[in-house]
């Protein structure tokens, strides 16, 4: 980043540059756009980021992003507590919710198994998922494995299958309507809905 920039602009551009998928030039464009906006626009942007840091946590039950200790879905008595859809990340919950098909609850793993990236079963919330099943409160009848169809997703699915089968719970996974290697986060709602409806035994 050019040292000729005023420090405040340089720092803002550096902050944008730290975001995934944003290079130095794009970061400078974002910072340059912000600096010509009305002061209130910039302050509102900063307040929203501050609120994100202060108010967003993870649900103590399912581990998705929430603004309360237990998320809205886990608190909702109309959801089917006996069916859990296992996903890698919180954005995946949004994708499945947009289909309107699934009426159960979720469990967010916090990623998929990838030793190269330092993600092992111990660093994910797999232990918490097993605890939910063992507690029998409520009794879990079905676990839907809704993970990406890439190497890491398939590795995680195999690991979960091995550790969940002894618990006498029905294991299903999304139908192969999703292309191999596809990310659930970027799939359209219709494709995900079909994959849910036509899910098969894992």
Domains contained in the chain, number: 2
* Same domain, yes or no: 50 and 69: no
The answer to whether the beta carbons of residues 103 and 82 sit under 8 Å apart is no
Inside any domain, residue 121 = yes
Q: Do 101 and 187 have their domain in common?
A: yes
Task: Looking at the structure, tell me whether residues 160 and 88 fall in a common domain.
Answer: yes
Tell whether 103 and 197 lie within a shared domain: yes
Residue 121 sits in the same domain as residue 163: yes
Residue 138: is the preceding peptide bond cis (ω within 30°)?
yes
Residues 25, 51 within the same domain? yes
Same domain, 185 and 88: yes
> Is the same domain home to 113 and 42?
no
In whole angstroms, give the CA distance from residue 58 to residue 155.
25
pTM over 0.95: no
List, as one string, the DSSP characters of 13-53: HHHHHTSTT--HHHHHHHHHHHHTS-HHHHHHHHHHHHHHH
Whether 197 and 122 map to the same domain: the answer is: yes
pLDDT 10s per residue in the chain (202 long)?
556 789 999 999 999 999 999 999 999 999 999 999 999 999 999 999 999 999 999 999 999 999 999 999 999 999 999 999 999 999 999 999 998 999 999 999 999 999 999 999 999 999 999 999 999 888 999 999 999 888 899 999 999 999 998 998 999 988 765 555 556 766 667 777 776 776 767 6
CA separation for the pair 100, 78 (Å, rounded):
14
Is 60 within a domain?
no
- Both 85 and 19 in one domain: the answer is no
Same domain flag for 29 and 102 = no
* Inside any domain, residue 1: no
Provide the residue range defining the domain that includes 121.
65-201
Q: Both 78 and 132 in a single domain? A: yes
């Amino acid at each position: 980043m050019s040292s000729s920039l005023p420090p405040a602009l340089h720092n803002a551009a550096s902050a944008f540059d730290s975001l995934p998928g944003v290079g130095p030039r794009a970061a400078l464009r974002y910072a340059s756009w912000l600096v010509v906006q009305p002061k209130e626009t910039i302050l509102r942007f900063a307040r929203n980021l501050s609120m994100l840091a202060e108010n967003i946590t993870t649900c103590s039950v399912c581990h998705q992003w929430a603004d309360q200790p237990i998320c809205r879905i886990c608190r909702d008595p109309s959801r089917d507590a006996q069916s859990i859809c296992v996903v890698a990340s919180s954005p995946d919950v949004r994708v499945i919710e947009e289909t309107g098909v699934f009426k159960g609850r979720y469990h967010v793993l916090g990623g998929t198994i990838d030793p190269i990236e330092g993600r092992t079963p111990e660093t994910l919330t797999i232990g918490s998922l097993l605890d939910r099943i063992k507690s029998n409160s409520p009794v879990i009848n079905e676990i839907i494995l809704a993970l990406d169809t890439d190497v890491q997703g398939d590795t995680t699915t195999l690991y979960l299958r091995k550790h969940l089968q002894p618990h006498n719970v029905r294991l299903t996974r999304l139908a192969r309507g999703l292309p191999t290697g596809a990310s659930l986060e970027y799939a359209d709602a219709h494709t995900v809905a079909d994959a849910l409806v036509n899910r098969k035994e894992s």
